[in-house]
Amino acid sequence: METDATDAIQILVALSALPVVVFALWNDYYARHLDELKQSRETEGAAMEIQRVRSAGLFAMMLQALFFLSTTELRQELPLYLQFFPIIGISIQTWLQAGTEKKVREIFKKPALSATTAGSAEPRPDSRSGTRGGPGFARAFAWALVAGFIYLSIMIGALMAATIAARMLDANAWFSMAFMVVGVLTGVLGGLGLNFALGPYYLRQVLCSREVEDPEQRAALTAVFKDARLPEPAFQQAEVGGGIAGAMMTGMRFGTGIFRPTVFVTQGLLKRLDPTELKAVLAHEASHMALRHLRRRFVFSCSMILAIATVSTFLVVLAHVAFTRAGSPESAQWVGLLCGAGAFVSAFKLLAKQSRAHELESDLYCVESLGIQVETLASALRKLETHDPYGSRGPGVTHPSTDARILALRTKLSTRLTSAAASAPAPAPAPAGDERETDHTDRAA
């Protein structure tokens, strides 16, 4: 038995070390490639080089996850402290990857503009954006995989912790099942919460964004959030091509560091909006934070996941019982597939509906509470819609059309003014003594 345990440990160590060794060998080869680039004094293409490093790192992590999942039965016989070999491997790989990315940025760092040319030169793009600018499908897909991997890791970790807890308590079958259900839900909600909180960091990587440096534009952001009595977020310009004009707010209001809330704007927006219109757009984004829309979306998503899981489980169990009695238990799997498809469509529609409601709430809040003029906001929204290729048209979109937003805003403001006028107290009548004095004066006249 002791020999079997030793063999199992050796297998786990070897499998956990293999992805790290593969990445280290690739890293050594890539370092020689970087030395050649340094000698050739290339100044463009940083995004492509960093993407190569991260793609190799992502491949190694996926290999690590594959080995981890394929050794579940082997790891069940080992103590808990021996389950963390993959984490050690990922930590070593992350350290190697961070060093390589730092070396890439140092090689591709451009010298500062001279004083004679600084006034006439165009703003220098961030070194991560490469020659083309813009995030690109491959970059967005890679970071979507990273987010999915983090989500899956948290869910598997929570499930493992629940399983180990059930074993340590020597729970029976029903209690073990309850522990597993709690573990799955904890993993799902925990992974969802972490990905919500990491939204600003993910978008910085996907959009190749950089800090907005224009002092007037930064002053507008500071003034808006100070007037709203909100913590000032980071202000990032997204390197998006095609002249797209857009803005978005991500992150929880209490976040700091990589979790710090961030306002992303595109270069097209900064070019096309005048200062008052830019202030209106920033006030709209500040309204999302003031109204805690991201937190409300997270709570709504968690509630929807719990409701869908409960209903789907009930339907699948009911279908299994019904089809088993009918003599065709294999047909029950189709119910599971239909529940999954229905849950996806329903979640998409409900989240889109909530997002549209949040946009209308933010429009109203920035006008009523932050002093933005309706005409200024309407002008900014029309410019954004004109230069947004994704638009706000079609079913299931996250924003109402601009015409619908302006109409809803005017209607709501008019309704509130009418209600305020109707509820205002009537002017008090003049005292009787004053009336007599007035009549006496009139008669004397």
Mean pLDDT of the chain: 77
Q: So what's the pLDDT on residue 288? A: 94
Q: Cβ contacts of residue 312 below 8 Å, gap of 6+?
A: 336, 339, 340, 343
The predicted pLDDT at position 436 comes to: 46
DSSP 290-301: HTTHHHHHHHHH
Q: Where exactly are the structural domains of the chain?
A: 1-108, 293-417
- State residue 283's pLDDT score: 93
Q: What is the length of the chain?
A: 445
**Mean pLDDT of the region 349-366:** 91
pLDDT digits (tens, 9 = 90+) for 258-276: 899 999 988 888 888 899 9
Instruction: Name the token pair of 321.
Output: 């019982």
Distance CA 176, CA 166 (A): 5
365 pLDDT tier (thresholds 50, 70, 90): very high
Return the SS3 of 262. strand
Residue 265: its H or E element: strand 262-266
Query: What is the pLDDT, as a whole number, of residue 214?
Result: 86
Q: What's the confidence (pLDDT) of residue 125?
A: 43
Q: For the chain, how big is the Rg over CA atoms in Å?
A: 30
pLDDT of residue 39: 67
Backbone phi and psi for residue 237, each to the nearest 5 degrees, phi listed first: -100, 120
What would you measure as the largest C-alpha separation in the chain, in angstroms? 123
Band of pLDDT at residue 122, cut at 50, 70 and 90: very low
Quick: pLDDT tens for 167-208: 888 878 778 888 888 888 888 888 888 888 888 988 888 877
Decide if pLDDT at 442 tops 50: no
* pLDDT tens track for 324-353: 777 776 666 677 677 777 777 788 888 889
| pLDDT tens readout for residues 378-422 | 999 998 887 665 444 444 467 888 888 999 999 998 888 787 777
Tell me what the mean pLDDT of segment 286-302 comes to.
Answer: 92
Q: Which residue has the higher pLDDT, 356 or 83?
A: 356
pLDDT for res 41: 52
In this prediction the pTM is: 0.64
pLDDT exceeds 60 at position 95: yes
Token duo for residue 162:
């629940």
Q: Per mean pLDDT, which of 1-15, 22-36, 164-178, 283-297 is the most reliable?
A: 283-297
